[in-house]
Amino acid sequence: MSSEIRIAVKELLAEELSRGPGGAWTEETGHTALAGLVAQGWTKVGLPEELGGEGGTLHDACEVVAASATLALPSPLADVVLVTNRLMAGAGLPLPPGATYVVPVDARAAGILDGAVTFSAARVPWARHASHLLAVMPTAKTAYELVIVDRADAEITPGANLAGEARDDVEVVDATPLARSWPRPWPTPSAVGELGALARSVQIAAALERALELSVAYCSQRVQFGRPLSRLATVQHELAALAGEVAAARAAVSVAAETQSAAPSPADLRSTATAKIRTASAASTGSRIAHQLHGAIGVTREYELSRLTVAMWSWRDEYGSESAWAERLAADALAAETGVWDWVTV
């Protein structure tokens, strides 16, 4: 059942979508819709009010992201609400004056010298559209801090994923940060990838739920051999299989979100890895089933399903692919001092 948050965000986005040609997203409608979300404070959900945010829980943030994912809205909502805001909340870092939204940077070759920061990053989501960029910087052997720089201080090379969403290369050299946190053990540099994996998992699970809704509706309306497709045993079997993928993805995301609601712990890695692995698998299997049920209409650009599946195919490989997270999960299990069985069951 959709929450009030998900309903409110979907209504705002659906209203903007209806203005697009043929009810399809365009770059213009996407920017307008995002501006509406920014104006109403949805990009600040999960960030405490004392830091310039709107407050709210991790569950609230997940609902905001799910609402946009069910419409396949190309926007930085997931990266901002589930990555940036959570990093800033954990570090007690306030929004700089004039910031609309801040996108996270998985920085490489990062460093701070005489107060100036330098870092580079590849395929940063929505960097060209952000007002500010956030990076985790090492300050000592086991201490890190967050820094926010103005996007104008970054050299940005535009790029895109399979779904046409902005994925840009970023280079910042000797920039003066607009905000800095105090050094602390968390967030570590890997935190961006771990939080991002949950964000993509939430997006995939929500998009897959919508793909199921579309498939059920289409099979109920499409008549073949004198009766609706949904009354054919083979079609019912495929719909049940798709529903199973949706349920598994939703459950994995729910556990990961519940685990990450607490303070960072080793359990975060297990739940996050499981969610990313299971949703990536569901994206592959679920997309195949949905397209088989729809036939040729499912691959047309004007039809909603194609936007959902192409987005899911992009998201399943971002912030770590299924195989990368499986390898990381296996390494963690083998390294457990209590043994693999206790690691699995505890």
Q: What is the DSSP secondary-structure string of 42-79?
A: GGGBTS-GGGTS-B--HHHHHHHHHHHHHTT--SSHHH
Side chain identity at 118, as an amino acid letter?
T
What's the mean pLDDT in 314-319? 95
- Paired strand residues for 120: 108, 171
Instruction: Output the CA angle 269-162-207, nearest 5 degrees.
Output: 60
* Domain ranges in the chain with CATH number 2.40.110.10: 4-180
Task: State how far the Cα of 96 lies from the Cα of 145, in Å rounded to an integer.
Answer: 16
**Fold of the domain spanning 4-180:** Butyryl-CoA Dehydrogenase, subunit A; domain 2 (2.40.110)
- Which of 245, 99, 259, 149 shows the shortest CA–CA distance to 194? 259
What's the mean pLDDT in 113-131? 92
Q: Which pLDDT does position 110 carry in this prediction?
A: 81
Confidence tier at 1 by pLDDT (50, 70, 90): very low
* pLDDT exceeds cutoff 80 at 24: no
190 DSSP assignment: T
The tokens 């490489």 sit on which residue?
108
Residues 6+ apart with CB under 8 A from 128: 151, 156, 158, 166, 168
What's the mean pLDDT in 27-50? 87
| C-beta separation of 117 from 92 below 8 A | no
Q: Quick count: other Cβ atoms within 10 Å of Cβ 132?
A: 23
298's tokens: 């499912």
Residues 6+ apart with CB under 8 A from 98: 131
The terminus-to-terminus CA distance of the chain in angstroms comes to 30
Task: State how far the Cα of 10 lies from the Cα of 70, in Å rounded to an integer.
Answer: 8
Side chain identity at 25, as an amino acid letter?
W
Instruction: Output the CA angle 65-2-71, nearest 5 degrees.
Output: 45
CATH no. for 191-345: 1.20.140.10
| C-beta separation of 208 from 286 below 8 A | yes
Helices 304-315 + 191-221 axis angle, to 10: 150
* Domain ranges in the chain with CATH number 1.20.140.10: 191-345
Helices 191-221 + 233-260 axis angle, to 10: 150
| C-beta separation of 282 from 206 below 8 A | no
* pLDDT exceeds cutoff 90 at 80: yes
Report the predicted TM-score, pTM, of the whole model to 2 decimal places.
0.94
Q: What secondary structure does DSSP assign to 278-329, as a single string?
A: HHHHHHHHHHHHHHHHHGGGGGSTTSHHHHHHHHHHHHTTTTS-HHHHHHHH
* pLDDT exceeds cutoff 70 at 130: yes
What's the mean pLDDT in 249-275? 85
* pLDDT exceeds cutoff 70 at 125: yes
- pLDDT one-digit tens code per residue, 287-304: 999 999 998 888 887 788
- pLDDT one-digit tens code per residue, 215-226: 999 999 988 878
59's tokens: 């569950």
Task: State how far the Cα of 191 lies from the Cα of 319, in Å rounded to an integer.
Answer: 11
Task: State how far the Cα of 183 lies from the Cα of 199, in Å rounded to an integer.
Answer: 25
Rg (CA), the chain: 21
* pLDDT exceeds cutoff 70 at 21: no
